[in-house]
Amino acid sequence: MKTAVFGGTFNPPHESHVEMAAFAVEQLGFDRVVVVPAADPPHKAVEGDATPQDRLRMAELAFEDFDEVEVSDIELRRPGKSYTYDTLRQLQEESPYEYYHLLMGQDMLEAIEQWYRFEELLSAAPIIVFPRAGSEGDLAALVERLSADYGADVEVAQTELAGVASRRLREELRESLPEAVPAPVLRYILERGLYGVRLDGGRAKTGRERQLIEQLRRRMQPHRLPHAFAVMEEMERLALHYGEDVSRARLAGLLHDVTKGESLENQLRLCANYDIVISTLEKASPKLLHALTGAAVARELLGGGEEEIVTAIRYHTTGRSGMSRLEQLLYLADYIEPLREFEGVEPVRALAYEDLVGALRLALDNTLREVLEAGRLLHPDTLEARNEFVAIMMERDR
């Protein structure tokens, strides 16, 4: 069996890590990739507050969709510094008939002569190195020298990575939700409050946002807060891109699910308290009620004068014909925010910043298909919204 050993701090794991493992399996023919988070790397301190167990769990989440990837705690179980030489020796002793390679990025290869027993390591296993963009000449010279000086067998992967740096991601996480971090890992970071990420007023940009966040913390279940923050930050990006008021966009994203998670009994009580008339369809589809009650509660929390935000919240689950730009952005942000993972979301994400109408039409198509397949009732507002965007696209393409 051909196995790649992929070590690192994974602090946090990101899309380049996933790309490397996928390339090893799909393009280089490896049967298995063993991902090994370091417990105590010898050449650099592990920055941030993620424990070795946190980094192990994040790696498991990052690679959970890959049957060929195994995340190993071998270095967490072994006391002392995490030396790759010791890890490789242990793996070879445990499975002597496997053909091991080392998988690493260019930065690691450039420092390999500082590693513990590096000459023995270079002779113990071939290396697959992933190049840094724009440094092909430097890497070729390094590979040639390592081969000449130590007999190293180094193959350069014929691909370029996205150039993601874990340090930069740790800094970005304090202010936003980087798309380079896989959604399950983002959720874990938010739930644990790692890397200075806070689920309180720390994500607020204004005093008003800070006050509203404190009220949300009292009203909402804790596990729903990450989605609220993710939609708020996606709304900011969309508003900047499409020229919408950023402040209102962030507030709409923050408050859109303010009553989601309430029991059916509480939803009906809120409807009665706010004189909300429920249609026959809404009675048959209780999941729609949080948009109605959420709009009423948001109006109260905002103190009036923000009817555009309230209306966007009112229609964020169904859409409708004649949606305002803010309504369109909220529907889309709720659909594509980076914590979302479901079939069909990636094509909508790909369109979101290129073709707003096309992205909305595709999202509505997906929603209608899901409702039909589940045997539920179609909301006429959703049909009307979809038909309107189809008509716009037909006119545009005429």
Does this chain's domain 2-164 share its CATH topology with 199-343?
Answer: no
Q: Is residue 34 predicted with pLDDT exceeding 90?
A: yes
User: What's the pLDDT at 200?
Assistant: 63
Joined together, the tokens standing for residue 214 give 């404190």
Mean pLDDT in residue range 81-91: 96
Rounded Cα gap, residues 80 and 66, in angstroms: 30
Distance in angstroms (rounded) separating the CA atoms of residues 330 and 255 = 11
10 Rama sector, left if φ>0, alpha if ψ -120 to 50, beta otherwise? left
Handedness of CA 121, 122, 125, 126 (dihedral sign): positive
CB 102 within 8 A of CB 4: yes
pLDDT band for position 179 (cuts 50, 70, 90): confident
pLDDT of residue 235: 97
- Note the pLDDT tens digit of each residue in 246-256: 999 999 999 99
- Please tell me the predicted confidence (pLDDT) of residue 45: 74
Cβ atoms of 254 and 209 within 8 Å: the answer is yes
pLDDT band at residue 210 using 50, 70 and 90 as cut-offs: very high
Q: How far is 75 from 39, CA to CA, in rounded Å?
A: 6
pLDDT in tens, 250-301: 999 999 999 999 999 999 999 999 999 999 999 889 999 999 999 999 999 9
Pick the CATH number of 2-164 from 3.40.50.11540, 3.30.70.20, 3.40.50.620, 3.40.190.10: 3.40.50.620
**pLDDT value at position 174?**
81
pLDDT band at 120 (very low <50, low <70, confident <90, very high): very high
DSSP 44-105: S---SS--HHHHHHHHHHHTTT-TTEEE--HHHHS-S---HHHHHHHHHHHSTTSEEEEEEE
Calpha distance 131→160 (Å, rounded): 6
- Residue 101's pLDDT band (boundaries 50, 70, 90)? very high
Average pLDDT of the chain to the nearest whole number: 94
User: pLDDT confidence of 6, banded at 50, 70, 90?
Assistant: very high
When pLDDT is cut at 50, 70 and 90, the band that residue 329 belongs to is very high
- Apex 315 CA angle, 310 and 319, nearest 5: 150
Domain residue extents for the chain: 2-164, 199-343
Phi, psi angles (nearest 5°) of residue 391? -65, -40
Average pLDDT (316-331) is 98
pLDDT for 165 beyond 80: yes
pLDDT at position 207 over 80: yes
Work out the pLDDT band at 199, boundaries 50, 70, 90.
low
The percent of residues in the chain predicted with pLDDT above 70, rounded, is 98
- Which amino acid does the sequence have at 299? R
Which whole number is the average pLDDT over 314-325? 98
d(CA 361, CA 370): 14
Q: Which two tokens stand for residue 276?
A: 């909300």
**pLDDT at 201 exceeding the cut of 60:** no
pLDDT at 46: 81
pLDDT of residue 223: 87
Neighbours of 268 (CB within 10 A): 17
**What is 199-343's CATH number?**
1.10.3210.10
The stretch 326-335 carries a mean pLDDT of 99
